[in-house]
Chain A
Amino acid sequence: MVKLEKDILSKNNEYADANRKMFAKRGVLALNLVSSPGSGKTTLLCRTIDALRGKLPIAVIEGDQQTSNDADRIRATGAPAIQVNTGKGCHLDAHMVGHAANHLDLAEGGLLLVENVGNLVCPAGFDLGEAHKVVVLSVTEGEDKPLKYPDMFAAADLMILNKTDLLPHLDFDVEACIANARKVNPRIKVLRVSARTGEGMSDWTAWIGAARAMALAGHPLAAELKGAA
């Protein structure tokens, strides 16, 4: 009989810790964007890159089972992007992300956006070394999603309610959706965004700015940035 008491995901967590250290050393803010397929993550990323152009170096890791369509869309904006195809896998793991990050040549003090595989279940359990998980929920999906997929909403620090320009055409109850998310995670922050019309995008970039300031606290780059501003 051998006593182990070992976390099943310990291997992933070791890789995640290594990623986190590497991001901290370079002053990179890493965000892990999770959602169901079709929530508008890639469009949101393209608009985010446009909004932060010239202010912040951005790199993107795209996770999908197959195709490089999303990375192609990101590269069209001019930002460096790497596509990770998970094949049979349903989520990105920390090893894949570390490997991709090493190939990306991340700029010091920059922003790394990781677009996870569209799936509200599995990516919740896999730490990639990110500073925050951001869950994107589009208003075409139904306000009970946080209750149906509680693990993901419990793991996220921010919920972006996307496609708000479609609200007039839907029966989606925004307040009920936010209440459901807070039942699962009383601390979750919520932003209402339409990546298509640009509504709420400045709130999102302001949130990124605040998260970046937190990620850089104590880093030598923090003083430089302050001097620049």
Chain B
Amino acid sequence: MHEMAICESIRGILEEEAARQDFRKVGRVCLEIGRLSDVEVEALKFGFDVVMRGSLAEDARLEIVETEGRAWCMPCGQSVPIAARFDPCPDCGSHQLQVTGGGEMKIRELEVS
């Protein structure tokens, strides 16, 4: 359900950009989705086809670039990779982490005509 709302947001942005930048068809949509964002990529792919039906992006190819989770470990004073929000620091085991990357949900680029 949530992924459908995300897809509807994407469709809204595509329609706005089409009016602004004067294009009629979108052939490819490239998204950047962080591994710590609350988006399930498989559900997003499913929702994308359904939501884009009848729009300027019908049959558009969806590409998703997943970015890794990163956090600043306060005890270590360094940036470390994490796979989930509750992961401890891989070096010292502390949970005193501040997430710095991996929450992204962006449209990176479009192939248009």
- Min C-beta distance of B37 to chain A, whole Å: 8
Q: Among the listed A125, A146, A182, which residue makes an inter-chain contact with B38, where contact means beta carbons less than 8 Å apart? A: A125
Contacts of B36 in A (CB 8 A): 151
Bound Cα distance A185, B96 (Å): 8
Evaluate whether A151 and B95 lie within 8 angstroms (CB atoms) in the complex, with A7-B106, A12-B9 already known: no
CB–CB A2/B21 < 8 A: yes
List the B residue with the shortest CB-CB distance to A126: B5
Tell me which of A122, A180, A184, A185 contacts B1 (CB under 8 A). Answer: A122
Residues B107 and A8 in contact, CB atoms below 8 Å apart: yes
Of listed B13, B39, B88, residue having the most chain A CB within 10 A: B13
Which residues in chain B, 17-56, are within 8 Å of chain A measured between CB atoms? 17, 21, 23, 31, 36-39
Q: Please tell me the number of chain A residues within 8 Å of chain B, measured between CB atoms.
A: 32
Binds B, one of A85-93, A105-113, A219-227: A85-93
* Main DSSP-derived SS at the B contact region: mixed
Given contacts A3-B109, A154-B85, contact A9 B17 (CB under 8 A): no
Question: Distance (Å) between the CB of B98 and the closest chain A CB?
Answer: 8
Q: B107 and A183: CB pair below 8 A? A: no
Residue of A3, A8, A91, A150 with most chain B CB atoms under a 10 A cut-off? A8
Interface residues on B, range: 20 to 34
Select B85's contact among A11, A121, A150, beta carbons within 8 Å.
Answer: A150
Evaluate contact between A5 and B2: CB separation under 8 angstroms: no
Q: Which residues of A contact B2 (CB under 8 A)?
A: 90-91, 121-122, 125
Complexed CA–CA distance, A150 and B84 (Å):
8
Say whether A11 contacts B13, CB under 8 Å.
Answer: yes
Instruction: Known A89-B5, A122-B38, A124-B38; judge A183-B110 contact (CB<8 A).
Output: no
Q: Is B62's CB within 8 Å of the partner chain A? A: no
Q: Is A1 an interface residue (CB 8 A)?
A: yes
* In contact, A4 and B9 (Cβ under 8 angstroms): no
Q: A185-211 interface mask toward B, CB cutoff 8 Å, 1 = contact, 0 = none? A: 110000000000000000000000000
> A55 contacts the other chain (Cβ, under 8 Å)?
no
- B9-A9 in contact (CB<8A): yes
Assess the A186–B105 pair: CB atoms within 8 A.
no
Asked if A147 CB lies within 8 Å of chain B CBs, one says yes
A102 at the interface (CB under 8 A from B): no
> Hey, which chain B residues are within 8 Å of A2, CB to CB?
17, 21, 23, 109-112
B85 near A184: Cβ-Cβ < 8 Å: yes
Q: Which residue of chain A has the shortest Cβ distance to B32 in the bound complex?
A: A5
How close is A213's CB to chain B, nearest CB, in angstroms?
Answer: 26
Q: Can you give 6 contacting A-B residue pairs, CB < 8 Å?
A: A2-B110, A8-B13, A9-B9, A10-B9, A151-B85, A186-B95
4 closest residue pairs by CB, A with B: A150-B85, A122-B2, A90-B1, A151-B38
Known contacts A2-B110, A8-B106, then 5 further A-B pairs from the complex at CB < 8 Å, ordered by chain A residue = A8-B107, A124-B38, A125-B39, A125-B105, A151-B36
